[in-house]
């Protein structure tokens, strides 16, 4: 895992996002307005990218959940239709003449 080091105080961070937050919070007065703006924009892009990935993952989970729910409903309806079809088949009782041909 790459380490990110602050250019001002040589403190190490596990992510570039942490490093940028540190530089903007701890060394704000030492940065030029251009550098501040650049770092803020980069940090915002990183956060937006992370947020959009999370939203995409949640959207996929919702789609999968909907698909599973639809499959359960279709299976239940199919089972009910099968049971209904089985119930409409006439029972054969030859001793009483039920279910046998007339001629």
pLDDT in the model for residue 100: 62
* pLDDT averaged over every residue in the chain: 87
In a domain, 100, yes or no: no
Residue located via tokens 């409409």: 88
% residues pLDDT > 90 (the chain)? 54
pLDDT confidence bin for 8, thresholds 50/70/90: confident
pLDDT higher than 60, residue 52? yes
In a domain, 82, yes or no: yes
pLDDT higher than 60, residue 1? no
In a domain, 32, yes or no: yes
In a domain, 50, yes or no: yes
pLDDT higher than 60, residue 98? yes
In a domain, 102, yes or no: no
In a domain, 26, yes or no: yes
pLDDT confidence bin for 2, thresholds 50/70/90: low
Q: Higher pLDDT residue, 13 or 75? A: 75
Output the CA–CA distances (angstroms, integers) from residue 90 to 52, 95, 100, in the order listed: 59, 15, 10
Could you count the other beta carbons within 10 Å of the beta carbon of residue 20?
A: 20
pLDDT higher than 90, residue 88? no
Is the pTM of the predicted complex or chain greater than 0.75?
no
> Would you say 57 and 27 are in contact if contact means Cβ atoms under 8 Å apart?
no
In a domain, 18, yes or no: yes
In a domain, 51, yes or no: yes
Provide the residue range defining the domain that includes 52: 4-87
The number of domains in the chain is: 1
DSSP state of 1: -
């Amino acid at each position: 895992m790459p380490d990110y080091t602050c250019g001002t105080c040589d403190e190490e961070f596990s992510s570039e996002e942490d490093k940028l937050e540190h530089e903007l919070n701890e060394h704000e007065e030492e940065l030029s307005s251009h550098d501040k703006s650049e770092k803020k924009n980069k940090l915002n892009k990183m956060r937006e990218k992370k947020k959009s990935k999370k939203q995409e993952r949640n959207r996929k989970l919702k789609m999968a959940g909907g698909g599973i729910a639809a499959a359960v409903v279709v299976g239940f309806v199919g089972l009910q239709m099968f049971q209904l079809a089985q119930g409409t088949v006439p029972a054969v009782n030859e001793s009483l003449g039920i279910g046998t041909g007339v001629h």
